[in-house]
Amino acid sequence: MAWLRTHWALPLGALIAAGDLSAARLGDWQGSQLLETALLFDLTLLLPALFWFCYRHQGKPALLKTLGLACLGIWLCGKAIPPEQQQLLPALSWLRYLGLAGLFALELKLLVALYKAVVLKGQSRHEAETQLQREGMPPWVARLMAFEASLWSKAWQALRRLSAKNRK
């Protein structure tokens, strides 16, 4: 019961998404934009809003996940709505690319910060992993990125040793 109190948006969102996808599969698409509008509203606005209200105490990581969920909603609408019935979706598809560009820029920023910390400043792998988890990255991804950064750090140190030997 405590899990449900903390993560109430997950089962509620699953029910809404299941209802929407059932309506898309079984609904009458002839002559109405109402179903397309309802799917777009639910998957791109309502579900991300529910997620945000449930996890807003997490701060910036929750906001980024909300943005990603909205992008996923636009993509899912593109798959659920038959192409011949898409009237609103083509006009909104640029939002998905804008959101993805923002998420890509953020991931690139995190990656650069990680490599600066590990490769250039000599931060330990564990410290880098902890830092990434604080930024909202899943633990297994943080572990893999910290491991990769430690490999690059060792490669950087080897290159510096080689260049120092070549100068002598």
Shared domain for 118 and 75, answered yes or no, is no
Range(s) of the domain holding residue 23: 1-87
Shared domain for 34 and 83, answered yes or no, is yes
Shared domain for 80 and 115, answered yes or no, is no
Distance CA 96, CA 50 (A): 19
Q: Please count the structural domains in the chain.
A: 2
Give the per-residue pLDDT at 137. 72
Shared domain for 59 and 7, answered yes or no, is yes
H/E element, 147: helix 139-167
Shared domain for 60 and 108, answered yes or no, is no
DSSP, collapsed to helix, strand or coil, labels residue 49 as: helix
DSSP, collapsed to helix, strand or coil, labels residue 124 as: coil
Give the per-residue pLDDT at 92. 80
DSSP 59-122: -HHHHHHHHHHHHHHHHHHHHHS-GGG-SSHHHHHHHHHHHHHHHHHHHHHHHHHHHIIIIIT-
Shared domain for 148 and 109, answered yes or no, is yes
pLDDT of the chain along its 168 residues, tens only? 788 888 899 999 999 999 988 888 887 777 668 888 889 999 999 999 999 999 999 887 788 788 888 888 888 888 888 888 888 888 887 877 887 788 788 778 777 777 776 666 667 778 777 877 777 777 887 788 778 777 777 787 788 788 777 776
- Both tokens assigned to 89: 């979706």
Asked which of 34, 60, 87 is the last residue of a domain, the reply is 87
Shared domain for 158 and 116, answered yes or no, is yes
